[in-house]
Chains A and B, each alone.
Chain A
């Protein structure tokens, strides 16, 4: 089935460092989304991107919708311990169906 390829699969960083992760697809999406999932919880929406080339920020998080509409990246600046979790990209298909990447697991060392 349709898949989004997310990289890296995991990251181990020091508190205060910046983080970058990205997501690519073989097909076009008109909406890209980034979610964070904590243990025992469902994914929580961080940022939604609606237009090719769009750059959107939410606090220390910045995400961009690629020009080709087949990719997106998420940056986290000045990481803190509570940034720990699994980050998922997702593309929105017609009818409200979300296609998710495999996730990037982020660990932050204080």
Chain B
């Protein structure tokens, strides 16, 4: 079955700097890669997703890149702000969605 690895587990960046979170997956049949943001005690919220026929997608300060050959995808957040502090989960989907273990992002003032 699918296995999703996510790094780093914790990330601290200065406000205004960029943050990058990386994920790898094992099942080459996976074709949909969403990213979720979860604030403490709340539900995961989809922030961006990418499908296997696209290499990059951008939405304002958030971008995701996908390398199908290497089976890895990354989340990029630019000009980070305090409200970006949260746990971020990557996921990969073939017939079911498998989540990475999460990255706790701290934005330092």
Please indicate whether A and B come from the same complex rather than being unrelated chains.
no
